């Protein structure tokens, strides 16, 4: 049964073990609804904004970009194994802002994102990309907690 509810699903991944359940959930929803998945990774370039550009900065950027390419490639492989069309998207900037902007500009019907499930002081001090997406997005958001 194919649903018209979801046609474009954004699965935001950071490549971590904690994002694996979110990837699985997003792919399953896409499979059931016949949706296209946009596997999205954002290189957090805001962390480097105060550092002068030099060889060290370039090396770190390339490492992060490589991790991003690997993360979205994994989503693509898992999606294709389930018969789901997956488009790979690698952006740079502030993760929550880029995810929200991409979803809104590309007519996404759902954003799927994982979370570490931090609470207390950790969450207060660091904030959460997932929480910022939930608060700022006009597109519905599915937040999937890790099993841990």
Q: Which of 126, 147, 120 has its CA nearest to residue 17? A: 147
In a domain, 24, yes or no: yes
- Percent above pLDDT 90 for the chain: 64
CB within 8 A of 132, min separation 6: which ones? Answer: 96
Give 147's pLDDT tier (boundaries 50, 70, 90). Answer: confident
The total number of structural domains in the chain stands at: 1
Is the residue at 16 inside a domain?
yes
| Per-residue pLDDT, 16 | 85
Distance CA 108, CA 37 (A): 9
Where in the sequence is the domain holding 18, given as residue range(s)?
8-145
Mean pLDDT of the chain: 87
The residue whose two tokens read 């207060």 is 124
Q: Which of the residue ranges 98-102, 115-119, 140-144 would you say has the lowest mean pLDDT?
A: 115-119
Does this model's pTM top 0.85? My answer is yes
Whether residue 1 is contained in a domain is answered as no
CATH number for the domain including 14? Answer: 3.40.50.620
């Amino acid at each position: 049964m194919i649903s018209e509810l979801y046609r474009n699903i954004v699965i935001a991944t950071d490549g971590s073990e904690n994002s694996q359940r979110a990837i699985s959930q997003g792919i399953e929803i896409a499979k059931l609804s016949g949706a296209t998945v946009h596997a999205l990774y954002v290189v957090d370039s805001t962390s480097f904004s105060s550092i002068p550009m030099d060889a060290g900065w370039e090396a770190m950027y390339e490492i992060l970009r490589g991790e991003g390419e690997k993360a979205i490639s994994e989503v693509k492989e898992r999606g294709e194994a389930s018969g789901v069309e997956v488009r790979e998207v690698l952006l740079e900037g502030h993760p929550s802002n880029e995810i929200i902007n991409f979803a809104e500009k590309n007519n996404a019907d759902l954003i799927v994102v994982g979370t570490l499930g931090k609470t207390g002081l950790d969450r207060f001090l660091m904030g959460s990309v997932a929480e910022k997406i939930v608060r700022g997005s006009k597109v519905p958001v599915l937040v999937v907690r890790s099993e841990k």
